[in-house]
Amino acid sequence: MTTTTTTTERRRLTAIRAAWLFDGVSDALAPNPTVVLDGTTIVAVHGPDEVPDGADVIDLAGATLLPGLVDGHVHTVFDASADPVARLAERDDAAAFAAMTAFARAAARGGVTTMRDLGDRDYLSLGLRAAAAADPGLPHLLVAGPPITTPGGHCHFLGEGAAGVAGVRAAVRERAERGVDIIKIMASGGNMTPGSRPEVPQYGPEELRAAVDEAHRLGLRITAHAHSTQSIVDALAAGIDGFEHLSFMTADGIDPIPDDVLTGLVARAVTVGLTLGFKPVPGAAPPPGIVARRPALMANGRRLIESGVHVIPGTDAGIAPIKPPDVIRWAFGQFQEIGLTAAQALHVCTARAAAALGLGDRKGRLVPGYDADILAVDGNPLTDTEALHRIRTVYLRGTALALA
């Protein structure tokens, strides 16, 4: 038996020094950190005077280092224009893929180092996920493929419709065979599709149970887009793992959260992706129906948090100009509006979101052994919400992005 010895030249370490560090889980910032990277990984977090011999030193005076942000719900196929559905319809797959890549790069430059795409067209996000694994300019990506929806239902133009118990089961199987990371099902109608009504369920209890059962049988988690109260009740009863929006929407308003739904969400530790985050854009505003409902939506969000429901950011980035690829930075402020402290809002945008996405062992924290996904901002985001927008640099798996 022969032994082959491979000599690899040791990479130079990088030591990033800054004013403060938020590690993803603490309630306070640590002063004067030195974060040491070896290639794509954080290997040490030291105090100021502990720079390893021979390391390249990056001095970010006045900056706070945070874990890169984690968004649980984006749509890379939508380009955050005034009519992303029409724009997508004009694009063939190659053009759509180029736009999706540009979306992902923009997200990374805005501090988003991990994101979950909950609805593409024709599985294009699988190619983007593969590209991201090899390209240090693209965030880490989890993907659902096209959402499961009824023929002609909400976002039907993203793939093929699925109806009935057998149809839903087949749709889950197809996605599993393609290699998606999670199943997304449109339990109710939605806002972007003409003719679709958010307050009306798309699937009944049996179809939802079949979808959950098939997903779990194939080892996948499943999250439900659900606006209508009935679709929320049915999906919860079906054993759903996550909700998107969870708006309790009626034809003309928002229902209060039924007590038994709240109890069920907590007892079953269901993850709720809240659609927070609106970038102020001159001339662009949320739809009037959302503006009118916003106080009631925010009140429900506050109740979820007070009750201990596991919430994460699920921004729906891409669906409108107020939802650009990096809109999660505006969700940070809105989480505070519904009752989180600034530190808790950072927890949900980093470590807690990463854990909910199944990446809690390598993303969302600045500790040794974790991926070197780092957002450096000017100032202290715990006392100044705007600090999150003053980006100094972003490291994606150890590589500093060029911020144009």
The footprint of Zn ion on this chain (CB under 5 A) covers a number of residues equal to 1
In whole angstroms, the minimum distance from the beta carbon of 67 to Zn ion comes to 24
Cβ proximity to Zn ion: between 23 and 71 the closer is 71
Distance CA 187, CA 178 (A): 22
Let me know: does 97 contact 124? Beta carbons within 8 Å.
Answer: yes
- Scanning 123-131, 134-142, 172-180, 309-317 for contacts with Zn ion by CB under 5 A, the matching segment is 309-317
Which helix (H) or strand (E) segment holds residue 227: the answer is: strand 221-228
Q: How many DSSP H helices and E strands does the chain contain? A: 11, 16
Q: What is the DSSP string of 356-381?
A: HTT-TTTSS--STTSB--EEEEES-T
Let me know: does 24 contact 365? Beta carbons within 8 Å.
Answer: yes
In whole angstroms, the minimum distance from the beta carbon of 387 to Zn ion comes to 28
Cβ proximity to Zn ion: between 316 and 373 the closer is 316
Binding mask 62-91 toward Zn ion (x if CB under 5 A, else -) reads: ------------------------------
| SS3 at position 19 | strand
Cβ proximity to Zn ion: between 147 and 381 the closer is 147
Cβ proximity to Zn ion: between 29 and 126 the closer is 126
Cβ proximity to Zn ion: between 21 and 246 the closer is 246
Strands of the sheet with 140-143, listed across from one edge? 69-74, 112-117, 140-143
Cβ proximity to Zn ion: between 129 and 227 the closer is 227
In whole angstroms, the minimum distance from the beta carbon of 85 to Zn ion comes to 12
Binding mask 119-148 toward Zn ion (x if CB under 5 A, else -) reads: ------------------------------
Nearest to 74 by CA among 20, 167, 1, 139: 139
Cβ proximity to Zn ion: between 316 and 371 the closer is 316
Q: How many degrees, rounded to 5, is the angle at CA 81 between CA 154 and CA 252?
A: 45
Cβ proximity to Zn ion: between 33 and 242 the closer is 242
- Scanning 63-71, 168-176, 310-318, 322-330 for contacts with Zn ion by CB under 5 A, the matching segment is 310-318
In whole angstroms, the minimum distance from the beta carbon of 187 to Zn ion comes to 12
- Scanning 29-37, 97-105, 123-131, 311-319 for contacts with Zn ion by CB under 5 A, the matching segment is 311-319
Cβ proximity to Zn ion: between 18 and 185 the closer is 185
Assign residue 332 a region (left: φ > 0; alpha: ψ between -120 and 50; beta: otherwise): alpha
- Scanning 18-26, 46-54, 212-220, 315-323 for contacts with Zn ion by CB under 5 A, the matching segment is 315-323
For tokens 């929806």, the residue is 149
In whole angstroms, the minimum distance from the beta carbon of 115 to Zn ion comes to 12
- Scanning 249-257, 316-324, 328-336, 372-380 for contacts with Zn ion by CB under 5 A, the matching segment is 316-324
| Binding test (CB under 5 A) with Zn ion, winner from 199, 214, 316, 373 | 316
Q: How many degrees, rounded to 5, is the angle at CA 400 between CA 345 and CA 72?
A: 35
In whole angstroms, the minimum distance from the beta carbon of 118 to Zn ion comes to 5
Cβ proximity to Zn ion: between 241 and 316 the closer is 316
At residue 187, φ and ψ (nearest 5 deg) are -70, -30
Token pair belonging to 123? 């599985």
In whole angstroms, the minimum distance from the beta carbon of 117 to Zn ion comes to 9
Q: Does 378 bind Zn ion (CB under 5 A)?
A: no
Residue whose beta carbon is closest to Zn ion: 316
- Scanning 171-179, 277-285, 313-321, 367-375 for contacts with Zn ion by CB under 5 A, the matching segment is 313-321
Q: Is the dihedral of CA 235, 239, 244, 246 positive or negative?
A: positive
**335: number of CA atoms within 13 Å, CB side?**
28
- Scanning 85-93, 168-176, 298-306, 308-316 for contacts with Zn ion by CB under 5 A, the matching segment is 308-316
In whole angstroms, the minimum distance from the beta carbon of 333 to Zn ion comes to 21
Distance CA 269, CA 102 (A): 35
CB within 8 Å of 34: residues ≥ 6 apart: 15, 16, 17, 44, 45, 46, 47, 48, 50, 51
Q: Using CB under 5 A, list all residues that contact Zn ion.
A: 316
